[in-house]
Amino acid sequence: MSERAASQAAAQGRRDRPWVMRTYSGHSSAAASNALYRENLARGQTGLSVAFDLPTQTGYDGDDPLARGEVGKVGVPIGHLGDMEALFQGIPLAEMNTSMTINATAPWLLALYVTVAERQGAARAALRGTTQNDLVKEFLSRGTYMLPPAPSLRLQSDVVAFTVRELPHWNPVNICSYHLQEAGATPVLEVSYALANALTLLDAVKGRSDVPEAAFPEVVGRISFFVNAGIRFVEELVKLRVMGRLWERLTLERYGVQDPKLRRFRYGVQVNSLGLTEQQPENNVYRIALEMLGVVLSKRARARAVQLPAWNEALGLPRPWDQQWSLRLQQILANETDLLEYGDLFDGSREIERLEDALEAQVLAELDWIERQGGVMEAVGTGAMKQRLVEANAARLRRIEAGEQVVVGVNRWRESAPSPLTASDDGGILTVDPAAEREQVARLEAWRAQRGEGEVEAALTQLKDAARAGTNVMEASLRCAAAGVTTGEWGRTLREVFGEFRAPTGVGGQGGEVRADEGDGLAKARRAVDEVSGALGRRLKLLVGKPGLDGHSNGAEQVAVRARDAGMEVVYEGIRLTPEQIASAAEDEGVHAVGLSILSGSHLELVPRVVQLLAERDLGHVPVIVGGIIPEADRQALLGAGVARVFTPANFDLNAIMADIAGLVAERHGRAA
C-alpha cells in the first residue's frame, strides 16, 4: 500500500458523518408520492422531505372552492388518515427521518403522522423528524397561514409542548430564514428576523404551564433552523457562522441554558431558488453546486440536512430524474471529495473574522429595530417587517435590471445554442395529471361515506373545546385523526374559534419609490402611462391579485410597487383570492387592466375562470395579464383562453412590462371607444 493511499484510508476512517440528504418532493396523490419516496430511498437518499399541496397546508379539503386547481400541484394532498397511511405504505416510520414542510396545519399533520406510525407498530419515542411549524415566516413571506398571529403562535407552541413530552427525537419547529431570502432579504434581515422569530416562540413556550421550568433548556435544544444559501457563498458561509455564534450567545444570555449541546445552532438547508434562471437553465446546476459550498465547507457551521432544488425549477415542476441529478451532487460532495476529513477550514481566518464581526453588529442593530417596533408579533401585524422585505427585494430587482448585479444568461451573455435539455417531449418538466384533483375528491367522498359520523362529531367538539379553553390541541387532534376527520374539518373548526386573518401586504405608501431618469426604462413607462391616462380621463388603474392558495407573493408585490412607480393607480389585493373576488374587485374599482400572479401551477384552472367572470360583468375589454412559472404549452393555452399577455421569470424587465400594459390598455380603449 502506498503512503498516499494509506493516509487516505486513515483519513477516511475518521471522516465526519455526512449530513442527511433529502429531496423535497410529493405531488398528485399519496400513492404516487409513496412510489416516488421509495424510489428516492432506493437511490441513496437518507431522509424524507414531504411537500404537501396548498389545500393541505392551509386546512382545506380538496373539494373546497378555494382548493380548485390546487389539489396535488405543489405537493401531496393529505385529506385524512387514509391518505397519510397510503403515503407511508411500506416505509417503516420507526427507521425514517422525516421532514414535513407544514406550518398552519402542523398539529394536524403531526397527529396523522403519529397515528400512522403507531398503527405500523412504531413507538412514539422512535420517531425522528421535523415539522416546519414556523408561522412568522408564513405571514412575512410564504403565505400559507390559517389563523391570526396570536392563535398561530399558540398552536405552534402546542406542538412544541407535545413533542417535548411525547416525541423525544422530534424537532417541533424549524425556524425558517429560507423564505425570507426568497422574499429578497439581505443576510442582515435574514439572520435577525430568524433569530427574533425563534426567541419569540421560545418566550411563548416559556410561559406555558404544561412545560416545566426544568424542561426548558431541552426545549431550547429542540429548536432547529431552516436556512437558505445564495450564490454569494462566502457571505453565506459567514452568515451561518454568525447565526451559530449569536444563537449560542442569545440562548445563554436570555434563557441561561448552560449545556452547550442544547445551545448548538442546528440547521437544515435548501439552497436558493430565487436566483435560478429560466434562461439557459443548465447554468443552474453550477449555481446549485456553488450555493451548497456555503453550507458545508465550514465544519463549525455545517448543515445537518441538505436538500437541493432542481436545475429546472424556474420552468416548472422537476421530474424524478431532475431530482436525482441534484441528489447525486450531494453524494459526490460528501463521498468523493475530501471535505469531511478535516476540522474547520476557516477558524483563525482574519478575513472571515472581519466579515463575521461586521455582520454581527448589523444583526444586533436590526434586532433592536424589531424591539422598537414592539416585537415580532406586533411588527407582523403592522406589516413593518414585511415592508422592509419588499423594499429589499425591489432593490435587488433594480440592480439586476440595471445590470449592476450580473446574472449570467439573463443580463449578460444571453446568446445560447439551443439546449438539448429542454428539447424533450415533456418540455423538460413534470406535468401533474389534471385528473389528480378529481380522483382525490372521489377518495375524499368515499372516505367520508365509510367513517362513523358520531365519533367525528365528538372528536371535533373536543378540538373546539380545547381551542377555546387554551388547552393543547394535540390530544384532540390525535383523536380527530383516529376518528377519520378530514383536513378541511380540522381547519374549519379552528377558523370558527379563532377567526380568519389576512396578513398585511407590505405594499403601500411611498416606500422604496424609484427615481426615473430621462431616457431610462421607467421614464418611458411613465410617459406611456401618462399618455393613456390622459386619454382615459383618469389615471390608469391596475388590479394585481393572486388567485388560488399560493402565498408566494414576492412577484406580485414587485409588480404592484413598480406599477405605482410607473404612475399607475394600483389596487393590490394580496394573496388567496377566488376568481370571483378578483372579478368583483375589478368591477367595483373600475380598473383598466388585471394582473394575476400564480406560481403553484394552477393557472390553467384559475385564470380562464377570471377571464370568463370579467366577461360576465361586461368587462371583457379589460386585459388580463398573467405572470408566473408558466410552461410554454400552458402559455399558448392561456393566450387562447383570452389572456392578453403571459410573463415568466425570463421577463425580468419590469419597466418594459409596465409600458406594455399601458400600450395594451390604449389599444383596447381605442378599439372599443
Binding-site ranges for other proteins (CB under 8 A): 148, 150, 381-384, 498-502, 504-505, 507-510, 513, 515-516, 526, 529-530, 533, 536-539, 560-561, 563-574, 577-578, 580-581, 584-585, 587-590, 617-618, 621, 668-669, 672-673
Q: Indicate the residue among 241 and 576 with the shorter CB distance to other proteins.
A: 576
Q: Indicate the residue among 214 and 672 with the shorter CB distance to other proteins.
A: 672
Decide if 51 contacts 144 (C-beta within 8 A): no
Supply the minimum distance, in Å, between the C-beta of residue 532 and other proteins: 12
Q: Indicate the residue among 216 and 498 with the shorter CB distance to other proteins.
A: 498
Q: Indicate the residue among 124 and 669 with the shorter CB distance to other proteins.
A: 669
Secondary structure of residue 247 in the 3-state scheme: helix
Strand order in the sheet with 224-227: 20-22, 305-307, 267-270, 224-227, 174-176
Q: Indicate the residue among 38 and 502 with the shorter CB distance to other proteins.
A: 502
Supply the minimum distance, in Å, between the C-beta of residue 527 and other proteins: 11
Identity at 545, one-letter amino acid code:
G
Secondary structure of residue 176 in the 3-state scheme: strand
Supply the minimum distance, in Å, between the C-beta of residue 571 and other proteins: 5
Is 621 among the residues known to form the active site? no
Catalytic, out of 27, 80, 179, 239: 179
The continuous run of DSSP H or E covering 387 comes out as helix 384-401
Burial string for 185-196 (b: 16+ CB within 10 Å, else e) reads bbbbbbbbbbbb
What's the grid cell of residue 196?
A: 427574533
Is 541 among the residues known to form the active site? no
Supply the minimum distance, in Å, between the C-beta of residue 487 and other proteins: 18
Is 145 among the residues known to form the active site? no
Alpha-carbon separation of residue 343 from 215, 261, 298, 562, 580 (angstroms): 33, 18, 8, 48, 59
In the chain, the N- to C-terminal Cα span, in Å, equals 88
Phi, psi (deg, nearest 5) at residue 493: -60, -45
Is 592 among the residues known to form the active site? no
Identity at 648, one-letter amino acid code:
T
What is the DSSP secondary-structure string of 562-626?
A: HHHHTT-EEEE--S-B-HHHHHHHHHHHT-SEEEEEE-SS-HHHHHHHHHHHHHHTT-TTS-EEE
Three-state SS across 326-368?
Answer: HHHHHHHHHHCCCHHHCCCCCCCCHHHHHHHHHHHHHHHHHHH
Identity at 198, one-letter amino acid code:
A
What's the grid cell of residue 434?
A: 389534471
Q: Indicate the residue among 573 and 634 with the shorter CB distance to other proteins.
A: 573
Decide if 110 contacts 474 (C-beta within 8 A): yes
Catalytic, out of 37, 178, 267, 572: 178
Supply the minimum distance, in Å, between the C-beta of residue 317 and other proteins: 28
Decide if 81 contacts 118 (C-beta within 8 A): no
Q: Which residues are 577's β-sheet partners? A: 547
Decide if 455 contacts 50 (C-beta within 8 A): no
Q: Indicate the residue among 271 and 389 with the shorter CB distance to other proteins.
A: 389
Catalytic, out of 61, 83, 550, 660: 550
Supply the minimum distance, in Å, between the C-beta of residue 29 and other proteins: 28
Is 179 among the residues known to form the active site? yes
Q: What is the CA radius of gyration of the chain?
A: 25
Q: Indicate the residue among 121 and 470 with the shorter CB distance to other proteins.
A: 470
Supply the minimum distance, in Å, between the C-beta of residue 500 and other proteins: 6
Is 524 among the residues known to form the active site? no
Q: Indicate the residue among 452 and 663 with the shorter CB distance to other proteins.
A: 663
Integer Cα distance of 294 and 309 in angstroms: 15
Q: Indicate the residue among 357 and 500 with the shorter CB distance to other proteins.
A: 500
Integer Cα distance of 274 and 230 in angstroms: 8
Supply the minimum distance, in Å, between the C-beta of residue 179 and other proteins: 21
Decide if 308 contacts 292 (C-beta within 8 A): yes
Burial string for 242-278 (b: 16+ CB within 10 Å, else e) reads bbbbbbeebbeeebebeeeebbebbbbbbbbbbbbbb
Supply the minimum distance, in Å, between the C-beta of residue 184 and other proteins: 17
Supply the minimum distance, in Å, between the C-beta of residue 416 and other proteins: 36
- Which is nearest to 514 in space by CA: 355, 341, 655? 655
Q: What residues are annotated to the active site?
A: 24, 178-179, 546, 550, 552
